[in-house]
Amino acid sequence: MRAILTLLQKDFILFFRDKTAIVLTFLVPFFVIYIVGNIFSGAGDNGGLSSNIKLAAYNESGDAAADTFIKALDLEESIELVSDAPGSDNTRVPFTRESIRQGIVDHHYNFALIIPKGYLKEDDIGLRLEFLSNPKNQIEAQIINGLIQKAVFTKLPQLLAGQLDEYQKEQMGDEKYNQFLDGLAALITLSYDDIEYDDVRERMGFAGLTELLSPSDATDGEDGEDQASAFFEGIIEFDEDQVFGKELKNPYLTRMIGGYAIMFLLFATTGSAASLFEERNDGIFLRILSMPAKRTHILWSKYLFNTLLGVTQAITLFIASSFLFNVEVFPNLPALFIVSIFASAACTAFGMLLASISKTPQQAQGFGTLLIISMSALGGAWFPLSMMGPTMQIIGKFTLVYWGVEAYLGALWEESGILALLPNLGVLAAIAAGLIAIAAWRFKTGDLFR
Amino acid sequence: MTVLTAENLCKTFGTTRALEDLSLSIEEGSFFGLLGPNGAGKSTFMNIVSGFLKQDSGSLALQGEELDPNNIEQKKLIGLSPQHIALYKELSAETNLKLFGKLYGLSGKKLSQQIEYALEVAQLSERRKSPVKDFSGGMKRRLNIAVALMHKPKILLCDEPTVGVDPQSRNAIFDTLLSLKEEGMTIVYSTHYMEEAERLCDQIAIIDVGKILRIGTLDTLLQELPKSNIIRARSASLDEANTTTFSKFGAVTQDGSSLELRTNEDFRLSSFFKWTEDQGLDATDFQIARPSLEDLFLHLTGKDLRE
């Protein structure tokens, strides 16, 4: 027992001597809860969604009632409605069927709704909507599906009902239709003792009925919504067009694997950062620098080795996922290989930076954990960025995780060619260059070569 | 011919002054010793000469030309055997030599020849394929030196090359270094063992807290000491009366079970032996010692070399 206490005391003494380790001990959990809290702090009202998901909407029918439906969608707090497309000279132009789909291909948004010409069924009561999607993030896709269904089932029925009233008036003529409703109201009033004719008459017709079933009626609440859903489920038809990832055999893993590959590369780089300290402590750097070699030679050799190692490991991970879980890797292998080079280069640069700013391997480990967790959460490796607040979304786009995940999704999920991936690869290259430049500067002035 | 000259070298780490106006010059083909306790600044000096560190001020010249850490030709003139066992321990002796040889710009036949040479110097030809981690401390130390010899440098910097080495391996290292000196190599050797400096070095610089206290040959350095001898006797050999009269020859101090007498300047050996005869003491119970570098260091700094 005495030995255990003595050794325990030793660990505490060592711990309290490393001021950075103490700070990181408290900083890491603080950051984790800060990020997770930002994502889930709105749980309840919006099912955890604290920000907006972009949804493009195009009323091809030109119908005024359909416009009302689009306005109803715009009222949804969690939807950021996009109603036009970029034109020339920074102008905005109305959507066309082609441009709204192109917006998904060009990654302006991942979901779009088209209210087509003749959206009201001709042969039946009901309507037909077109839903275009790139469900590269499953959580986001599930949320937007839920939100659209909610909007459709709660708002559109009122519009549809109004149209049915108008339709009936057109078919029967105003007078006959009103006579029909007056008679029906009188019949109902006669059949029950405790109701007034005026109340019943007011609720007659499709509009009155849907008002009765509407969730906006405070007395009905969710029950009304459920009833409306049940009522209209059979009359609304969605034509779905999944723009990307439609034919994939394992869509769930295909979506997730890029994020995990990036996290894997990042954690591997913290190991490589620690190896730099080992060589320093063994006096290897001293020996090498006494030879015709420079610090930059050490830096670049380590950088190249770890980048190549990262590429090898990432490709192994993808190939294994292909054999074990049917992820469609081989058709996209050239693109995956290119993305892995850039992602690994950026992650390795991050590892080199860690080594250059840390004084001990423990500090590198601590900084690494803090930054990797933060970047993974903010960069969309765990949750879609749309679940975070606007500021966090902007910060997220400054992380290499975001661009790495996007590049891997581009290669695997969207099966994009190299050209389409160039913007993401360019950002990864810029991140790698920036990080390695800072690391090189720190190597010249920092502690690693003391 | 002077091969290495340092003038007023200064180096500070934080608030610690590692080198303070250090000046010295080293002759070609000499065995130059840097003798000082741990933290004296020996390794800092070695690291500056090898190009690992840069001095804050002062100058350093190699064969009359200012030493530039980026000058590859100058680096090829220097070989460093660091204080650490700076080897890849998972790799074999031969692979280590090959890798470091390539860094010195060797290749092909020349590289193979130098590997053979280095293995021979390190007496490790038989163990060339064994991983370094399986070597004894002495073998690792020898290989640590051998790596620095791969390119046959003009100057070999040995930073405490015998730390943690058994006496047998230590002697092997000494023999190797002395034979290299015979071949004309200049050796700069740092140590805190005064016996090593006395045995190996032509020139010795005594260094403490970043300053050179004295430089010279062993003889000239020892002449710095006051002219006195040290006579040691076992306490048990002398009774109280003897001890009192013993002290008339100089200052007596108790050192464990021994009495140590540092003699006066007018000390005469004949008078001392006459005294032992008069006291009925056996002269063989007394040991007369020559002053050492340890004494000089104590004399100069007031502290022990191993403090």
pLDDT band at A44 (very low <50, low <70, confident <90, very high): very low
Bigger pLDDT: B106 or A165?
B106
Residues B180 and B240 in one domain: no
pLDDT (0 to 100) of residue B293 = 80
Bigger pLDDT: A380 or B185?
B185
Residues B282 and B159 in one domain: no
Domain harbouring B30, CATH code? 3.40.50.300
Determine the average pLDDT of the residues in B155-165.
92
What are the counts of helices (DSSP H) followed by strands (DSSP E) for chain B?
A: 11, 14
Residues B138 and B241 in one domain: no
Domain termination residue (choose one: B218, B239, B254): B218
Determine the residue among B43, B52, B91 to mutate to test chain A binding: the one whose Cβ has the most chain A Cβ atoms within 10 Å.
B52
d(CA A426, CA A403): 9
- Residues 287-316, chain A, touching B (beta carbon < 8 A): 287-294
The amino acid occupying position A227 is Q
Interface contact A283-B85, CB threshold 8 A = yes
Report which DSSP code applies to B303: S
pLDDT digits (tens, 9 = 90+) for A368-394: 888 888 888 888 888 777 777 778 888
Q: Could you tell me the residue range of the domain that residue B188 belongs to?
A: 2-218
Please report residues of B whose CB lies closer than 8 A to that of A449.
Answer: 52
pLDDT band at A255 (very low <50, low <70, confident <90, very high): confident
pLDDT (0 to 100) of residue A450 = 66
A 10 A CB-CB count for B99 gives 15
Residues B139 and B284 in one domain: no
A66 pLDDT higher than 90:
no
If you measure CA to CA, which chain B residue comes closest to A298?
A: B103
Residues B9 and B148 in one domain: yes
Interface contact A282-B86, CB threshold 8 A = yes
Determine the residue among B60, B84, B100 to mutate to test chain A binding: the one whose Cβ has the most chain A Cβ atoms within 10 Å.
B84
A 10 A CB-CB count for B145 gives 21
State the average pLDDT for chain B: 89
Residues B240 and B213 in one domain: no
Q: What ipTM is given for this predicted complex?
A: 0.83
Of A75-79, A156-160, B299-303, the range with the highest mean pLDDT is A75-79
pLDDT (0 to 100) of residue A423 = 93
Interface contact B50-A450, CB threshold 8 A = no
pLDDT (0 to 100) of residue B130 = 96
A172 touching chain B per CB within 8 A: no
Determine the average pLDDT of the residues in B260-278.
82
Residues B214 and B236 in one domain: no
Interface contact A292-B72, CB threshold 8 A = yes
Domain for residue B295, yes or no? Answer: no
pLDDT (0 to 100) of residue B95 = 94
How many domains, chain B?
2
A437 pLDDT higher than 90:
yes
Q: At what angle do helices A138-154 and A156-172 cross, to 10 degrees?
A: 40
Closest CB to A287 among B69, B76, B86: B86
Residues B234 and B207 in one domain: no
d(CA A54, CA A103): 11
Interface contact A286-B47, CB threshold 8 A = yes
Residues B236 and B208 in one domain: no
pLDDT digits (tens, 9 = 90+) for B2-61: 999 999 999 998 889 999 999 999 999 999 999 998 889 999 999 999 988 889 999 999
pLDDT (0 to 100) of residue A229 = 56
Task: With H, G, I as helix, E, B as strand and everything else as coil, classify residue B35.
Answer: strand
Of A42-46, A426-430, B245-249, the range with the highest mean pLDDT is A426-430
Residues B209 and B237 in one domain: no
Residues B210 and B121 in one domain: yes
A339 pLDDT higher than 90:
yes
pLDDT (0 to 100) of residue A249 = 83
A186 pLDDT higher than 90:
no
pLDDT (0 to 100) of residue A41 = 63
pLDDT (0 to 100) of residue B132 = 95
Say if CB A436 and CB A349 are below 8 A apart: yes
Domain for residue B300, yes or no? Answer: no
Residues B203 and B234 in one domain: no
A445 touching chain B per CB within 8 A: no
pLDDT band at B272 (very low <50, low <70, confident <90, very high): confident
Q: Please report, for residues A148, A284, A323, the alpha-carbon distance to residue A68 in angstroms, rounded to integers and kept in the order given.
A: 14, 73, 50
Residue A247, H or E segment: none
Sign for the pseudo-dihedral over CA of A375, A377, A380, A386: negative
d(CA A172, CA A329): 62
A200 pLDDT higher than 60:
yes
Of A198-207, A261-270, A273-282, B261-270, the range with the highest mean pLDDT is A261-270
pLDDT digits (tens, 9 = 90+) for A206-249: 666 665 555 444 444 455 455 555 555 666 778 888 888 777 88
pLDDT band at A43 (very low <50, low <70, confident <90, very high): very low
A205 pLDDT higher than 80:
no
A 10 A CB-CB count for A78 gives 21
Domain boundaries, chain A: 44-243, 251-445
DSSP secondary structure string, A11-75? HHHHHHH-HHHHHHHHHHHHHHHHHHHHHHTTTTTSTT--S-EEEEEEETT--HHHHHHHHHHHT
Domain for residue B304, yes or no? Answer: no
Assigned token pair, B257: 């079970």
pLDDT digits (tens, 9 = 90+) for A269-293: 877 777 788 888 888 999 999 998 8
pLDDT (0 to 100) of residue A221 = 47
Domain termination residue (choose one: B195, B218, B241): B218
Name which of A27-36, A237-246, B108-117, B159-168 the model is least confident about.
A27-36
pLDDT (0 to 100) of residue B271 = 84
A123 pLDDT higher than 70:
no
Report which DSSP code applies to B234: E
pLDDT digits (tens, 9 = 90+) for A68-117: 778 878 887 778 889 888 877 778 888 988 999 999 988 889 899 998 98
Q: Please name the residue that has the structure tokens 């749309």.
A: A386
Please report residues of B whose CB lies closer than 8 A to that of A293.
Answer: 103
pLDDT (0 to 100) of residue A87 = 79
